[in-house]
Protein backbone atom coordinates (compact mmCIF):
# COMPACT_ATOMS: atom_id res chain seq x y z
CA UNK A 1 0.00 0.00 0.00
CA UNK A 2 1.21 3.49 -0.86
CA UNK A 3 0.09 7.05 -0.16
CA UNK A 4 1.34 8.95 -3.20
CA UNK A 5 3.91 10.99 -1.28
CA UNK A 6 6.99 10.59 -3.46
CA UNK A 7 10.09 9.94 -1.36
CA UNK A 8 12.68 10.45 -4.02
CA UNK A 9 13.60 10.38 -7.67
CA UNK A 10 15.41 7.54 -9.37
CA UNK A 11 17.15 7.31 -12.71
CA UNK A 12 16.72 4.35 -15.02
CA UNK A 13 20.22 2.98 -15.55
CA UNK A 14 19.33 0.14 -17.94
CA UNK A 15 16.39 -1.57 -19.61
CA UNK A 16 16.96 -5.23 -20.46
CA UNK A 17 14.33 -7.07 -22.54
CA UNK A 18 13.64 -10.51 -21.08
CA UNK A 19 11.19 -11.97 -23.59
CA UNK A 20 8.56 -11.96 -20.83
CA UNK A 21 8.80 -8.18 -20.36
CA UNK A 22 11.78 -6.08 -19.27
CA UNK A 23 14.11 -5.78 -16.31
CA UNK A 24 14.70 -2.20 -15.19
CA UNK A 25 17.83 -1.18 -13.29
CA UNK A 26 17.20 1.99 -11.28
CA UNK A 27 19.73 4.12 -9.41
CA UNK A 28 18.47 5.91 -6.30
CA UNK A 29 19.54 6.47 -2.69
CA UNK A 30 16.25 4.73 -1.75
CA UNK A 31 17.82 1.52 -3.08
CA UNK A 32 19.81 1.34 0.18
CA UNK A 33 16.52 0.95 2.10
CA UNK A 34 15.34 -2.03 0.05
CA UNK A 35 15.77 -5.73 0.69
CA UNK A 36 15.30 -8.49 -1.87
CA UNK A 37 11.57 -8.87 -2.59
CA UNK A 38 10.46 -5.52 -1.13
CA UNK A 39 7.77 -3.55 -2.92
CA UNK A 40 8.48 -0.11 -4.37
CA UNK A 41 6.29 2.18 -6.46
CA UNK A 42 7.98 3.38 -9.66
CA UNK A 43 5.90 6.15 -11.26
CA UNK A 44 3.00 4.70 -9.31
CA UNK A 45 3.52 1.11 -10.45
CA UNK A 46 4.07 -1.38 -7.62
CA UNK A 47 7.17 -3.43 -8.48
CA UNK A 48 9.28 -5.96 -6.60
CA UNK A 49 12.89 -5.05 -5.87
CA UNK A 50 15.57 -7.45 -7.09
CA UNK A 51 19.28 -7.32 -6.19
CA UNK A 52 19.26 -4.06 -4.21
CA UNK A 53 22.84 -2.91 -3.58
CA UNK A 54 24.85 0.29 -3.42
CA UNK A 55 21.97 2.63 -4.14
CA UNK A 56 20.55 0.64 -7.06
CA UNK A 57 17.91 -2.01 -7.54
CA UNK A 58 16.35 -3.94 -10.39
CA UNK A 59 12.71 -4.79 -11.03
CA UNK A 60 11.01 -7.07 -13.54
CA UNK A 61 8.14 -5.48 -15.45
CA UNK A 62 5.78 -7.97 -17.11
CA UNK A 63 4.06 -7.39 -20.45
CA UNK A 64 0.69 -6.63 -18.81
CA UNK A 65 2.29 -3.77 -16.88
CA UNK A 66 4.08 -2.51 -19.99
CA UNK A 67 0.74 -2.43 -21.87
CA UNK A 68 -1.01 -0.50 -19.10
CA UNK A 69 1.66 1.93 -17.95
CA UNK A 70 4.16 4.48 -19.14
CA UNK A 71 7.03 2.20 -18.06
CA UNK A 72 7.01 0.83 -21.62
CA UNK A 73 8.54 4.14 -22.73
CA UNK A 74 11.35 4.53 -20.20
CA UNK A 75 14.98 4.24 -21.21
CA UNK A 76 18.40 4.88 -19.71
CA UNK A 77 18.45 8.34 -18.16
CA UNK A 78 14.68 8.56 -17.59
CA UNK A 79 13.82 10.01 -14.18
CA UNK A 80 11.10 8.23 -12.20
CA UNK A 81 9.12 8.93 -9.02
CA UNK A 82 9.80 6.45 -6.20
CA UNK A 83 7.86 5.62 -3.05
CA UNK A 84 8.44 2.92 -0.46
CA UNK A 85 5.34 1.17 0.93
CA UNK A 86 3.43 2.59 3.87
CA UNK A 87 4.45 1.30 7.30
CA UNK A 88 1.76 0.77 9.93
CA UNK A 89 3.17 3.59 12.09
CA UNK A 90 3.51 6.12 9.23
CA UNK A 91 1.28 9.14 8.70
CA UNK A 92 -1.27 8.80 5.93
CA UNK A 93 -0.52 12.09 4.21
CA UNK A 94 -1.78 11.40 0.69
CA UNK A 95 -4.49 8.85 -0.06
CA UNK A 96 -4.68 5.05 -0.14
CA UNK A 97 -3.06 3.74 -3.32
CA UNK A 98 -2.34 0.20 -4.45
CA UNK A 99 0.25 0.82 -7.14
CA UNK A 100 -2.10 -0.80 -9.69
CA UNK A 101 -2.25 1.53 -12.68
CA UNK A 102 -5.71 1.74 -14.25
CA UNK A 103 -4.54 3.29 -17.51
CA UNK A 104 -2.69 6.06 -19.24
CA UNK A 105 -3.40 9.74 -19.65
CA UNK A 106 -1.55 12.34 -21.71
CA UNK A 107 -0.39 15.78 -20.63
CA UNK A 108 -2.56 18.05 -22.79
CA UNK A 109 -1.91 21.49 -21.33
CA UNK A 110 0.39 23.19 -18.83
CA UNK A 111 -0.53 26.65 -17.50
CA UNK A 112 1.17 28.83 -14.90
CA UNK A 113 -1.21 30.16 -12.21
CA UNK A 114 0.72 32.33 -9.76
CA UNK A 115 3.24 30.08 -8.04
CA UNK A 116 1.21 27.00 -9.00
CA UNK A 117 1.20 25.09 -12.28
CA UNK A 118 -2.05 23.69 -13.65
CA UNK A 119 -1.62 20.47 -15.62
CA UNK A 120 -4.50 19.17 -17.70
CA UNK A 121 -4.45 15.43 -18.43
CA UNK A 122 -6.46 13.94 -21.30
CA UNK A 123 -7.86 10.54 -20.36
CA UNK A 124 -10.35 7.94 -21.53
CA UNK A 125 -14.00 8.18 -20.41
CA UNK A 126 -13.77 4.76 -18.72
CA UNK A 127 -11.21 6.27 -16.32
CA UNK A 128 -12.77 9.71 -15.97
CA UNK A 129 -16.03 8.17 -14.73
CA UNK A 130 -14.23 7.55 -11.41
CA UNK A 131 -12.79 11.07 -11.14
CA UNK A 132 -14.55 13.85 -9.22
CA UNK A 133 -13.61 17.47 -8.61
CA UNK A 134 -11.74 17.81 -5.30
CA UNK A 135 -11.30 14.04 -5.19
CA UNK A 136 -7.97 12.23 -5.12
CA UNK A 137 -6.10 10.71 -8.05
CA UNK A 138 -2.62 9.26 -8.44
CA UNK A 139 -0.69 10.53 -11.46
CA UNK A 140 2.71 8.91 -11.98
CA UNK A 141 2.48 7.80 -8.35
CA UNK A 142 1.81 11.28 -6.94
CA UNK A 143 -1.29 11.77 -4.79
CA UNK A 144 -3.05 14.84 -6.18
CA UNK A 145 -6.34 16.66 -5.77
CA UNK A 146 -8.45 17.04 -8.90
CA UNK A 147 -9.13 20.74 -9.51
CA UNK A 148 -11.40 20.23 -12.54
CA UNK A 149 -12.83 17.39 -14.61
CA UNK A 150 -14.88 17.15 -17.80
CA UNK A 151 -15.73 14.43 -20.33
CA UNK A 152 -12.24 14.39 -21.86
CA UNK A 153 -9.76 15.44 -19.19
CA UNK A 154 -8.92 16.25 -15.60
CA UNK A 155 -6.78 19.02 -14.17
CA UNK A 156 -4.53 19.23 -11.13
CA UNK A 157 -2.80 22.24 -9.58
CA UNK A 158 0.79 21.65 -8.53
CA UNK A 159 2.62 23.61 -5.84
CA UNK A 160 6.37 24.36 -6.12
CA UNK A 161 7.21 21.58 -3.60
CA UNK A 162 5.56 18.97 -5.85
CA UNK A 163 7.27 20.38 -8.93
CA UNK A 164 10.67 20.20 -7.21
CA UNK A 165 10.33 16.73 -5.67
CA UNK A 166 8.70 14.86 -8.57
CA UNK A 167 9.07 14.40 -12.31
CA UNK A 168 6.27 16.96 -12.78
CA UNK A 169 8.96 19.64 -12.63
CA UNK A 170 10.07 18.57 -16.10
CA UNK A 171 6.64 17.62 -17.48
CA UNK A 172 6.15 18.19 -21.20
CA UNK A 173 3.11 18.27 -23.44
CA UNK A 174 2.24 14.89 -24.92
CA UNK A 175 4.00 12.87 -22.22
CA UNK A 176 2.05 9.77 -21.15
CA UNK A 177 1.30 9.50 -17.42
CA UNK A 178 0.11 6.63 -15.24
CA UNK A 179 -3.34 7.06 -13.70
CA UNK A 180 -4.67 5.21 -10.68
CA UNK A 181 -8.20 6.24 -9.79
CA UNK A 182 -9.62 6.02 -6.28
CA UNK A 183 -10.22 2.32 -5.63
CA UNK A 184 -13.20 3.15 -3.41
CA UNK A 185 -15.08 4.54 -6.43
CA UNK A 186 -14.63 1.24 -8.27
CA UNK A 187 -15.87 -0.79 -5.30
CA UNK A 188 -18.92 1.47 -4.87
CA UNK A 189 -19.79 1.11 -8.57
CA UNK A 190 -19.55 -2.68 -8.37
CA UNK A 191 -21.61 -2.90 -5.18
CA UNK A 192 -24.32 -0.57 -6.48
CA UNK A 193 -24.44 -2.47 -9.79
CA UNK A 194 -24.84 -5.78 -7.97
CA UNK A 195 -28.02 -4.56 -6.28
CA UNK A 196 -29.81 -3.41 -9.41
**pLDDT tens string 156-171:** 999 999 999 999 999 9
Identical fold, 8-83 and 103-191:
yes
Is residue 33's pLDDT more than 80?
A: yes
d(CA 122, CA 125): 10
Listing DSSP states for 165-194 in one string gives HSGGGG--TT-EEEEE--HHHHHHHHHHHH
Domain 8-83 has CATH 1.10.150.120: no
pTM check: above 0.85: yes
Find, among 145, 146, 19, 143, the residue nearest to 81 by Cα.
143
pLDDT attached to residue 94: 81
Q: Spell out the domain ranges in the chain.
A: 8-83, 103-191
Is residue 97's pLDDT more than 90?
A: no
Q: Which residues pair with 48 in a beta bridge?
A: 39
Is residue 22's pLDDT more than 90?
A: yes
Sort 40 into a burial class: Cβ within 10 Å, 0-12 / 13-18 / 19+.
Answer: buried
Mean of pLDDT values over 140-145: 96
d(CA 145, CA 123): 16
**pLDDT tens string 36-86:** 999 999 999 999 999 998 899 999 999 999 999 999 999 999 999 999 998
pLDDT attached to residue 122: 98
**Residue 127 CB neighbours (<10 A):** 18
Domain 103-191 has CATH 2.40.30.20: yes
Is residue 6's pLDDT more than 80?
A: yes
What value does the mean pLDDT of the chain take?
93
Is residue 19's pLDDT more than 90?
A: no
Q: Which residues pair with 90 in a beta bridge?
A: none
Find, among 14, 1, 77, 73, the residue nearest to 44 by Cα.
1
Pairing of strands 21-27, 116-123: unpaired
Amino acid sequence: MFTGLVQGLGTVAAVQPTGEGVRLAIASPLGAELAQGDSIAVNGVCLTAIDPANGTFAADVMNETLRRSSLAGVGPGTEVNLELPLRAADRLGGHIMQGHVDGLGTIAEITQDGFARIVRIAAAPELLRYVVEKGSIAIDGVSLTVSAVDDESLSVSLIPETLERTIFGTAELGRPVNLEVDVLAKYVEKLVGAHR
